[in-house]
């Protein structure tokens, strides 16, 4: 059992939890909790190792056996020590260090999500989760957005990282992908055209901007059309994750009708 905070595996896990720079240089990230680790295992995602404590649940014990059967390295860690790495109020006693392997972008995607300075990790992760459910084929993470492999974003994504190509790109690279795929760029904007009146069944890229600052100038330069979620008067705006999710599922509805 690991009992020292100076253990190399514990130190790496703690650095991955704390700093985006360390995630980039180590090319690794954390998946915490039974369900997320189950998702990673089901997706055959490359593990470096798994840490667990003796108070893990029965479901966690079954997961641990499955992980060990796959010959993935596991180490028991003192409960209080594992809690110092955990990003949750109550640790589930299971934490995996995973390789930062990004799924490839399809050659000609026709449904793309672009996150434009979505700084709040919970919103970024929720948008990734909705994107996976709505059939988005790739996500481009523009500068200023929360690190897509931070522990909070991964947790809110609930397994989207293991099913969806998620790539952090500069705006010029995003523009090249859009041009190459022939995508129509729709920007979420409260003053835009009502989403159910806008054609969203074609090849589109949907830009969701941060709540505080709105769309960046770079995003607006790529935009072909602005779209909105119509609301009752007196309501200022929707949460970025809620608005973006509604728009993605409206696109899914239109695409299914036109199929």
pLDDT tens, position by position, 54-100:
988 899 999 999 999 999 999 999 999 999 888 776 778 999 999 99
CATH of domain 111-258: 3.40.1280.10
Q: Where are the domains of the chain?
A: 8-99, 111-258
Residue 168 has a pLDDT of 97
Q: Whole-model pTM?
A: 0.94
Look up the CATH architecture of domain 8-99: 2-Layer Sandwich (3.30)
**Could you please report the per-residue DSSP string of 212-243?**
TTBS-HHHHHH-SEEEE----TT-----HHHH
Q: Identify the residue whose tokens are 């180490």.
A: 75
What per-residue confidence (pLDDT) applies to 234? 72
pLDDT given at position 233: 78
Report in angstroms the alpha-carbon separations of 82 from 60, 89, 206, 213, 237: 15, 12, 39, 37, 40
Check pLDDT > 90 for residue 251: yes
Instruction: Tell me what pLDDT residue 89 has.
Output: 67
Mean pLDDT (whole number) for 43-48: 98
Strands (E), 111-183: 111-116, 138-141, 166-168
Using a pLDDT cut of 70, give the percent of the chain over it: 100
Mean pLDDT score, 186-195: 94
Residue the block writes with tokens 């893990």: 56
pLDDT tens digits, one per residue of 1-31: 899 999 999 999 999 999 999 999 999 999 9
């Amino acid at each position: 059992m690991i009992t020292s905070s100076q253990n190399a595996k514990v130190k790496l896990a703690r650095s991955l939890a704390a700093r985006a720079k360390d995630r980039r240089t180590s090319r690794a990230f954390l998946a915490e909790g039974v369900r997320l680790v189950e998702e990673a295992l089901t997706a055959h995602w490359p593990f470096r190792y798994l840490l667990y404590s003796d108070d893990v649940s029965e479901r966690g014990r079954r997961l641990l056996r499955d992980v060990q059967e796959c010959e993935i390295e596991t180490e028991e860690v003192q409960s209080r020590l594992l809690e110092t790495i955990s990003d949750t109020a109550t640790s589930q006693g299971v934490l995996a260090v995973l390789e930062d392997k990004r799924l490839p972008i399809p050659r000609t995607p026709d449904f793309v999500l672009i996150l434009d300075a979505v700084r709040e990790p919970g919103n970024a992760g929720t948008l990734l989760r909705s994107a996976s459910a709505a059939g988005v084929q790739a996500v481009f993470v523009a500068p200023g957005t929360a690190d897509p492999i931070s522990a909070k974003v991964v947790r809110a994504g609930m397994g989207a990282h293991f099913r969806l190509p998620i790539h952090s790109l500069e705006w010029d690279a995003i523009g090249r992908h859009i041009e190459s795929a022939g995508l129509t760029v729709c920007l979420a904007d409260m003053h835009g055209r009502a989403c159910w009146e806008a054609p969203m069944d074609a090849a589109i890229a949907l830009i969701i901007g941060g709540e505080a600052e709105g769309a960046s100038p770079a995003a607006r330069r790529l935009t072909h059309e602005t779209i909105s979620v119509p609301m009752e008067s007196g309501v200022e705006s929707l949460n970025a994750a809620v608005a973006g999710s509604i728009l993605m599922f409206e696109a899914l509805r239109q695409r299914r009708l036109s199929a």
